[in-house]
Structure 1
Amino acid sequence: MRSIISILTCALLLCACGSRTTGSGPQGDTLVLGHSDLLTLAERGAETSVSVSDPWHQGQTLQHLTLGPTDGRGVLRPLRRVVVFTTAHCQLLEYLGLADRIVGVCDVQYMHIPDIQRRVKAGRIANCGDAMNPDVEKIVSLRPDAIILSPFEGASYGRLEKLGVPLIFAADYMETSALGRAEWMRYYGRLFGQARRADSLFHVVDSSYNALRAYAARLPKGRSVLTERITGAVWYVPGGKSSLGTIFADARSPYPFAADGHSGSLPLSFEQVLDKAGQADVWAFLYNGQRMMTRADLLREFHGYKALKAFRRGDIYECNASATPYFEEVSFRPDYLLREMIILAHPQAKLGQLRYYKKLPQSPS
């Protein structure tokens, strides 16, 4: 998982931002968040109190911090210089017109954002190495205001925790709905002192998503879609309560694993996938490569694919994540992904061309 990291320069803030507590949460006038289950924002005068629920331990708080216009004891001022570890959060800052505040990135080879690549090559953004093993000395030399990273259950952040700068835990990827994750942009905007701009963008995303959902609701039941490919002996599919699972429901696509109650990925054997989704109408998967995968490529990877109805009928759609901005966009523009799934599930839909996926041309296997 790729993550944003922003580094705050106050040691007292490290205690405030990095702690896991069972506190009472933000004090003040709570902002209404319509979709997020993990985030609570409350405004008190010029300050905003933020509470992030621990997604792994019910009833506990993963993080609590206070944002304000000026420095103060336990108060974080708007961020001016950040190190960003994930492509999705870099793209969000681009959307918000805040890309000039990025001074360092990790995993730059996975970031398909032209402006970021240009600035890295020009030396205006530092390459801080691998997100799982970042160049701490380079990060320190950048004098960033904050590190924002995606937390994991039981994770240790090594030397990053000892820098004397706080870590901001970006747990948006743990939300169970696509709009719930996107709604975190309202929090991220406030980190940079751009609440109005972030709220405005989320209103656009929310309105677009709901208009697409209403459009799909008027369509007949669509085609079923199987996602991903086998990895070794395991085929990971999105759980029924995952954000992608909810997108299939909103697209009126009968997802084969809709009855499953998991919000993450399901590790299944091919036999389990074949039993549940072998008759899926469409097979759509992500890959990284220099060219489209052919049917022959797929069969060389795993001959069992031939048992899939979608393979036999040629309803195979590929998204080359190394050539399209899939991972850059879909986290905070779930309306783009919902539109994509409506088109896959409803060929008659009048929504234009696919944005990410391409249909594999028919050819002998």
Structure 2
Amino acid sequence: MRLSLGITPVLFLLGLGLNACVQNSVSPVAQRPLHPDCVQEFDPSQDYFLDKVQVEFATGFEVDYQGHYKRVTLASPHPEANDPVEYILVQCGTPIPDDVGDAMVVEVPVQSVVVLSTTYLPHFAALDRVNHLVGISDTQITQTPAVVERVKQQKIRDVSRNQVVNIEAILNLNPDIVITFDAGGASSDTVLMLENAGLQVVLNSEYLEMSPLGRAEWLKFTALFLNQEGKAKEVFEEIRTDYQELSQRVAAAIADDTSRPTVFTGFSSTNTWYVPGRNSYAAEFLRDAGADYLWDDLDRQWTVPLDFEVVYQRARDADFWVNVNSNWRTRADVIEDDPRYGNFAAWQGDRIYNNSKRVNEFGGNDYWETGILYPNLILADLIQIFHPNLLPNADKTYYQKLE
């Protein structure tokens, strides 16, 4: 059985969702032989999770530790969802609690995982748990080095290609969990079909986070299923510290708003230009990098469709233009698409940058893979673009100027 996801996770900014019901008295994994990581003799007075995480920036999930299990709550799997989703993560070798309700029960640490979005793959590399991955979507587009190496060794199978999920292939791998996203619509149908096939589906709604550090902090969500909270705290602390130090350096260097170059983003498709609101992920990056985002007065989280002429009126004299069409490699490509682009000062002044430096031959863009986990690297790129004197010797990781 092959099922279409109906949406490209990278372009949608990704997320995960799940709503599986497990009877209190039966766990689909409870009858498996005990793994060496499992508890051999249960002590109800013992705390089995000495490493715990606290959520600082992410708004989409929370965790409550209860001795031998963790209650993980996902605020919303997608924007139209009305109810939260709960997971009960039980230390293997210990009993399932009585108050499970409709939550899905997962024995942890999980040993085998299928992941249906490249965004979550860097989590496994950062947590030193790539060997737990048994299947991923579209192995050709991933760029996480440790994952690429396991694919070459044929230790990770391709279970989805061109947004079409191969459920038989996943069933043959018999994973403990499948991590995927639920963006509503067709992707919700796919999630339901995965669940109906008897698979334990875990949703990740990282894509709903509106701050770069909020998205990166979903590393901790993944760590909960692997009992790798200690490693997650260590990695995230380095990312958070670097990001905040960079943004503070910019803030200290900018005497007033006149020191901020003006910037706009995106491009027109069939005369519609989607502009991110000021509460969006993209707008926060631009502010933290010391730019004056021209639509910072737009009180929205998501993008808003505008006519070409409306964007031109405000952005024609802007200093920089970033995050443009992924197919553009040169300034000539820009005006070949639409000659009107040549009237923008950013085009005339050769100040167009795109997050396409690390795109592989199959179209996989590492900006939407490792970049989600390491927003400090993206911020450093943007600072180099807007304020090159602040990071004079650094090389850009994800951004490049259109030739």
User: Which bin holds the TM-score, normalised by the shorter protein?
Assistant: 0.7 to 0.9
1:278-317 → structure 2 map (5 Å cutoff): 278-286=316-324, 288=326, 293-317=329-353
Question: Secondary structure of 2:323's match?
Answer: strand
Q: CA deviation at 1:325?
A: 2.4
Decide which of 108, 115, 118 is 2:139's aligned counterpart: 108
CA distance in 2, matches of 1:61, 1:205: 31
Task: Specify the code of the residue in structure 2 equivalent to 1:339.
Answer: A
Distance verdict in 2 for CA 1:149–1:75, change over 3 Å: closer
Distance verdict in 2 for CA 1:339–1:90, change over 3 Å: same
Distance verdict in 2 for CA 1:237–1:274, change over 3 Å: same
Question: Secondary structure of 1:103's match?
Answer: strand
Question: Secondary structure of 1:218's match?
Answer: helix
| 1:338 maps onto 2:379 in alignment | yes
CA distance in 2, matches of 1:50, 1:7: 12
Q: CA deviation at 1:8?
A: 12
Unaligned runs of 5+ in 1: 17-29
Decide which of 84, 91, 107 is 1:76's aligned counterpart: 107
Worse-superposed segment, 225-234 or 79-88:
225-234
Q: CA deviation at 1:235?
A: 2.2
Aligned to 1:21: none
CA distance in 2, matches of 1:107, 1:277: 37
Aligned to 2:181: 150
Aligned to 2:390: 349
Aligned to 2:37: none
| 1:196 maps onto 2:226 in alignment | no
Alignment RMSD, CA only? 2.8
Aligned to 1:224: 262
Decide which of 351, 359, 364 is 1:322's aligned counterpart: 359
Q: CA deviation at 1:161?
A: 2.1
Aligned to 2:72: 50
Task: Specify the code of the residue in structure 2 equivalent to 1:171.
Answer: S
CA distance in 2, matches of 1:297, 1:284: 15
CA distance in 2, matches of 1:175, 1:280: 28
Contact 1:67 1:75 in 2 (8 A): yes
Q: Which has the larger radius of gyration?
A: 2
Aligned to 1:257: 295
Aligned to 2:212: 178
Decide which of 85, 92, 109 is 1:63's aligned counterpart: 85
Contact 2:15 2:208 in 1 (8 A): no
Q: CA deviation at 1:141?
A: 0.1
- TM-score after normalising by structure 2: 0.78
CA distance in 2, matches of 1:240, 1:31: 30
Contact 2:286 2:293 in 1 (8 A): yes
Aligned residues: 344
Aligned to 1:23: none
Decide which of 272, 280, 299 is 1:234's aligned counterpart: 272
| 1:360 maps onto 2:402 in alignment | yes
Percent identity of equivalent pairs: 24
Contact 1:310 1:316 in 2 (8 A): yes
Unaligned runs of 5+ in 2: 1-8, 28-51, 97-104
Question: Secondary structure of 1:108's match?
Answer: coil
Q: CA deviation at 1:56?
A: 2.7
- TM-score after normalising by structure 1: 0.85
Q: CA deviation at 1:288?
A: 4.6
Task: Specify the code of the residue in structure 2 equivalent to 1:127.
Answer: D
Task: Describe the superposition over 1:141-162 as per-residue Cα deviations: whole angstroms up to 9, x where unpaired.
Answer: 0010101111113522252121
CA distance in 2, matches of 1:8, 1:56: 15
